[in-house]
Amino acid sequence: MERYSRIENKCKREIVLLKARPCAWSKCTFCDYIEDNSTCIDEMLKINADVLSHVTGEYGVLEVIDSASIFELPQQTLELIKQIIHDKNIHTLFVESHWIYHSKIQQMRDYFGINMIIKTGVETFDDDFRNRVLNKNVTFSSIEELKSYFDSPCLMVGIKGQTKEMIQKDMEILTKHFQYGTINIYRNNSTPIQRDDQLIQWFMQNYAYLQDDPRYDFLCDPTDFGVGD
């Protein structure tokens, strides 16, 4: 399992994949990332301290991810991240959180006290597909409400059941309303949710140019950031 890497295109930054407690939701139908969760505090602290020791601060930007939300990291790990931010002169921090923590986002911003880009797994702006099929439990009522808490939606492309029209609307909303975002091409995993190769082929024919858009990370594989397995 790779847990430290550098992202050297678009927004240059260091990225760490840390160990966290089980995701508070843990019911998304397509997600098996939660297998990296732990309930052993000593294991989490040991792994996280080792991974964070690699951070150099060379870009002044750090992204911290785990298989749940930033809120599932142990408090000792959060304190270590805060100390590294100070010691390495980091000015911008990327983190990710599930929608269920939206009311606590400002508390996390206040805790770190630096510029933060908060990512969240929207997967699609189609409410029915997002919540009925993917079981995301992400229930914002408008784009404005979502933007009032989060800076960067993560979108999933190429799941059977998605339509071209759905994806067109997703890309339109992303590019019109957000200065940050992540586009993930779906990869089959251990869940029953399946990849739609024909839909992905269509998407790449029509939206491959977004790979060069400096605002958005474009992941053809979940490990394109250099972390995970």
Site of tokens 């989490």: 44
Q: What is the span of the domain harbouring residue 169?
A: 4-219
pLDDT of 142: 98
Q: How many structural domains does the chain have?
A: 1
For residues 200 and 146, give the distance between their C-alpha atoms in angstroms, rounded to a whole number: 26
* Residue 224 is assigned to a structural domain of this protein: no
**At residue 229, does pLDDT exceed 90?**
no
With both helix axes pointing from N to C terminus, report the angle between 75-87 and 41-52 in degrees, rounded to the nearest 10. 10
Indicate whether 158 belongs to any domain: yes
Contact between 155 and 122 under an 8 Å Cβ cutoff? The reply is yes
82, 58, 46, 67: which is closest to 5 by C-alpha?
58
Looking at residue 71, its pLDDT comes to: 98
The pTM for the full model equals: 0.95
Q: Is residue 58 part of a domain?
A: yes
CA distance 219 to 15: 15
Mean pLDDT, residues 12-32: 95
Helix (H) or strand (E) holding 174: helix 164-177
User: How many Å apart are CA 213 and CA 172, to the nearest integer?
Assistant: 14
| Residue at 97 is within a domain | yes
What is the per-residue pLDDT across 53-95, written as a single tens digit (0 to 9) for each?
999 999 999 999 999 999 999 999 999 999 999 999 999 999 9
226 within domain boundaries: no
Residue 129 has pLDDT above 90, yes or no: yes
Q: What is the domain-level CATH number for residue 210?
A: 3.20.20.70
Q: Considering the domain boundaries, does residue 150 fall inside one?
A: yes
Let me know if residue 229 belongs to a domain.
no
* CB contact set of 189 (below 8 Å; sequence gap of 6+): 30, 32
Residue 228 lies in a domain: no
Question: Average model confidence (pLDDT) for the chain?
Answer: 96
Local structure of 14: helix, strand or coil: strand
Residue 34 has pLDDT above 80, yes or no: no
Q: What single string gives the DSSP state of each residue in 25-73?
A: S---TT--GGGG--S-HHHHHHHHHHHHTT---TTSEEEEE-SS-GGGS
**According to the model, what pLDDT value does residue 228 have?**
86
